[in-house]
Amino acid sequence: MFLSTVESEHEVEIDEASGLPKVLIYRGADGNFSTNLKAEISVEINGSEVRAPTGGIEYLDTKTLKNCVSNGALISKETPKGRVFSQPIDIQGLKARINYLFAIHGPAVEISIELLEQKSILVRELTLAIKFDLESGKWQANIPGNGLKANVPLSDISDSTGISPLGGLRGSSGVAHLSCSTHSLVMWCVNDIEIPQILFQGNSNQSAEMTIKSGFASDLSVITTIEVPLIALELMTENWSQFPSIFDNWLRSKGISSPSNPPSWVKRAMLFEAQIGFSVFSQVNKYGPYPEVSDLIADLDRIKSLGFTCIQVMPKQPYPSYNVHDYWNIDVSYGSKSEMQRLVQEAHKREIRVILDVLLHGVLDKEIIRIAADGVRSGPFQALIQSETDDSFSSDVKDWQNYLVAWSRHIIDFEPYWSAGSPDKTDLEDQHPDWFYRFSNGDIAGVYTKAFDVRNAKWRNYFTDGMKFLVQELDIDGFRFDAPTYNDFHNWAPWARYRAGASALACTGLFEDMRPVFKKIKPDFLFYTEPSGHSLRRSMDLNYNYDEQWLVTALANPAVRKPWGVSCGRDIARWMADRDSLLPRGSMTAHHIDSHDTFWWPSWGKKWRREQFGLKMTQLLTAIFASLPGPFMMFIGGEEGIEELLPKLSKLKESRAYQHGEVHWWVEESVDQDLFGISYFDSNGGISVLVNTSPNEISGTLPINTKVLGVEQLVGNVEIKGNDFSLEAYAAVVINHKVGQ
């Protein structure tokens, strides 16, 4: 059975037995192409709920339904988005519909599944596995923002690789673009209600596979119908270089765009992450750079001299750490209220802004701390707690083993401090029982806090009022929202079970509502968060760069490189250019190589990049990441050994070309592969940063007709003759130049 509309150049042949897609066809003036598909939907249902060893909820004794059978006549209807064809199906007794939307705007065909009301069925997970058999040709894959370099031969992706979804921590566009010499196939996971887990794999036999574990869950007895977005597909003649402008239209058709009013100061900012108190590692090692707020105040002049223009104050360590105690209790949450006020005043005198790291994932009490710690002691990672751990964000997005070991150690390290500061039981549990995640039996769920359900309107008001209080009392300049999607598990509370997986991303609506409120208070106020995905970029001026951290390790440690990963400076420039090309317009990323996140999870003695890779490589990595578009951030202590470098990079960010110029990435084949290069050009001139990532000298020529006006050596030595340059091994330089002679 073939589905088509007069508005579309695409057709879908669906399997009459299953109702699932069988062939995707493109018929255009520029050619006819098709791709055979083999799709399977599986639904995990019922079973019992238990707390997972590392928090959240896992399921026991579930049943998996797989056999999908057509169960009625095809239905067609017009919608504002386009024509939808709905095929009723039965999945071993589960009633549903497969919907095929031929979109007027956006990707050609969007496939979703619509589940129908049914008694006694709890859907615990819904998964789409789809295999694409491609026409003969040399196919290449581009999956921007993920663990692959550009233009990877499809046959080289011999292992499954994770793709970060729109709402993911290491988020991305969620797009996989495959192309041969004549046409391309684009796959896009469009769900931004849940946080799916996506795996992609290429094969040597001209095929590719994508598995989307949706994160969806629902009690079907409390709904009439409920729809789960699965995947959008399109065949096109445009190649990868032509795709970003098409994807920009797709984003706008979904209402995905970045705010148009970011703070005037943020693009050139140098962010200094400051910790008050001490953190604990393996119970015996303590790190406490600023015991009290007064110690941070005393260091302001040094911070200023290093080029930092904004201080990000972490929650006080070790209590309450990255947990909620009481938003209105500044003394416990950050340090002495009067000293915090003085910190902001003294920082502002030095033209340094101050932002607060704030939490929303859950509240601490002795009960939940004991549950979390007991879960670690009886769980699978107890025996590994003393084992060596590395940077948790250098691995594939699918691999969380390193993090879970380090997280388990962290819980045991902080348990006595958290317990000592917490009440036996939070008052909020009795006062506002509907503010929390729940198991079906009514028990509160959480990772290591009692998890807040951000969907709750009254909780949103509570949080917003708390943030207003902090602004009014401290005169701060912005927030960094820590881990807003941390509770990435299901909520089976009575009010949430119709769509139990939707709470994790409910923060997106909260932030979109909050933004105009705080912009009215302070027009230059900063909204900044951890997740890198497009869903959070709707409301944020600035997002973290978890997605970039694997590049640090791949460049600095050849032993971990994969055939499909980056291996040189030019690869990194190309990866950055491609990732940025699919971001919503106006998006900004804060770049770092050392943050409290990269510091906390590795074992003691190899927490800093200088300990992992040596000082020279750390200098080169700093030069690369600080020269990228957007702010640069660093955790207190990360500046050791690069004190002379940081002010030079701050000066770079103050240049007119950097702030207002057009970005040029040095990705041409003529550029030496070991050279990382980025330039910024405006009508008056330009500024370029060149970094030699190899042990050999590199020579080259500036990419356009320019006159060199000045040279700032960052690392090592450089020689300039006219427009020609020569960089010694492991050297970095800033070149100021004027367009034309």
Instruction: Report the alpha-carbon angle 443-444-448, nearest 5.
Output: 135
> Residue 702 — pLDDT band, cuts 50, 70, 90?
confident
pLDDT score for 418: 97
Q: Is 581 helix (H, G, I), strand (E, B) or coil?
A: helix
Question: What is the residue extent of each domain of the chain?
Answer: 2-253
For 72, what's the count of Cα atoms within 13 Å in the CB-facing half-sphere? 12
Continuous segment of H or E residues that includes residue 199: strand 197-203
In single-letter form, the type of residue at position 520 comes to K
Quick check: 738 pLDDT over 90? no
pLDDT digits 0-9 by tens, 131-159: 999 987 789 999 999 999 999 999 888 78
pLDDT score for 125: 98
pLDDT digits 0-9 by tens, 678-696: 999 988 889 999 999 999 9
pLDDT score for 708: 87
pLDDT score for 704: 63
For residues 400 and 488, the answer to whether their CB atoms sit within 8 Å is no
Max mean pLDDT among 23-32, 84-93, 153-162 falls in: 84-93
Question: What is d(CA 575, CA 662) in angstroms, rounded to the nearest whole number?
Answer: 18
Quick check: 720 pLDDT over 70? yes
- Helix 366-377, helix 401-421: angle, nearest 10: 140
pLDDT score for 741: 54
pLDDT score for 19: 97
Quick check: 364 pLDDT over 90? yes
Quick check: 395 pLDDT over 90? no
Quick check: 566 pLDDT over 90? yes
pLDDT score for 740: 67
pLDDT digits 0-9 by tens, 600-654: 999 999 999 999 999 999 999 999 999 999 999 999 999 999 999 999 999 999 9
Q: State the pairing for strand pair 10-14/2-4.
A: antiparallel
Is the pTM higher than 0.85? The answer reads yes
Question: What is d(CA 731, CA 675) in angstroms, rounded to the nearest whole number?
Answer: 10
* pLDDT (average), residues 553-575: 93
Cβ–Cβ contacts within 10 Å for residue 37, how many?
Answer: 20
* pLDDT (average), residues 535-558: 95
- For the domain bounded by 2-253, which CATH number is listed? 2.70.98.10
Please choose, from the candidates 186, 78, 85, 79, the residue with its C-alpha nearest in 3D space to the C-alpha of residue 132: 186
Continuous segment of H or E residues that includes residue 330: helix 330-333
Q: Counting beta carbons within 10 angstroms of the beta carbon of residue 294, is it exposed (0 to 12), middle (13 to 18) or buried (19 or more)?
A: middle
Beta strands in 392-477 (DSSP E): 450-451
pLDDT score for 472: 98
Question: What is d(CA 656, CA 23) in angstroms, rounded to the nearest whole number?
Answer: 52
pLDDT digits 0-9 by tens, 237-263: 999 999 999 999 999 999 999 999 999
Buried b (16+ CB within 10 A) or exposed e, 98-123: bbbbbbeebbbbbbbbbbeebeebbb
For residues 233 and 22, the answer to whether their CB atoms sit within 8 Å is no
Max mean pLDDT among 25-34, 492-501, 683-692 falls in: 492-501
- Range with the lowest mean pLDDT among 122-131, 558-567, 636-645, 690-699? 558-567
For residues 536 and 484, the answer to whether their CB atoms sit within 8 Å is yes
* pLDDT (average), residues 51-69: 97
Quick check: 163 pLDDT over 70? yes
Quick check: 165 pLDDT over 90? yes
Chain centroid to CA 592: how far? 14
Instruction: Report the alpha-carbon angle 362-365-366, nearest 5.
Output: 140
Residue 343 is given by DSSP the state H
Cβ–Cβ contacts within 10 Å for residue 356, how many?
Answer: 24
Token code pair at residue 262: 């970011």
pLDDT digits 0-9 by tens, 179-189: 999 999 999 99
